[in-house]
Amino acid sequence: MSESIDHRHTNYFCKMIVVTGASGLLGSQILLHAARSGESSLTGVYRNVKSLKRVESSFMAQGASKEFKSINWVRVDLLDAIETEEVMVDAKYIIHCAAFVSLERSDSKIMMEMNSRISENVWAGAQKNKVSRGIHVSSISIFSDNHDKGFINEKSETKTSNLSSYGKSKIYADLIAWRYSAEGLSLSVVYPSVIMGSPAWNNSSAKIIHQIKKGLLFYPPGSTGWVDVRDVSDFVLRIISEKASAEKYILNGHNLSFQKAFNDIAMALKCSPIKYRASEFILRAALKAELFLSLISPYKQKLSKDSIKSGIAQKKYNASESLKIGFKYRTWESTMAFLASQYSSIYNKKSI
Tell whether 213 is covered by a domain: no
Alpha helices, DSSP H, located in the chain = 25-36, 49-61, 65-70, 81-87, 108-128, 165-182, 206-215, 229-239, 258-268, 280-296, 305-312, 320-323, 332-343
Cα–Cα distance between 297 and 316 in angstroms, integer?
39
Tell whether 114 is covered by a domain: yes
- As a whole-number percent, the residues of the chain with pLDDT over 90 amount to 65
Q: Is 275 helix (H, G, I), strand (E, B) or coil?
A: coil
Within 8 A by CB and 6+ apart from 199, the residues are 206, 209, 210, 339, 342, 343, 346, 347
CATH code: domain of residue 51: 3.40.50.720
Angle at which helices 280-296 and 305-312 pack, to 10 degrees?
A: 170
Write out the residue range of the structural domain in which residue 190 sits.
3-197+225-254+315-330
Tell whether 279 is covered by a domain: no
> Which residue type sits at 189?
V
Q: Give tens-digit pLDDT for 150-174.
A: 899 999 888 777 788 888 999 999 9
Tell whether 282 is covered by a domain: no
* Full-model pTM: 0.89
Tell whether 175 is covered by a domain: yes
Tell whether 286 is covered by a domain: no
> Which residue type sits at 164?
S
Tell whether 272 is covered by a domain: no
Contact predicate 247/215, CB 8 Å: no
pLDDT band for 251, please (50, 70, 90 cuts).
very high
Measured in residues, the chain has a length of 352
> Is residue 293 pLDDT above 70, yes or no?
no
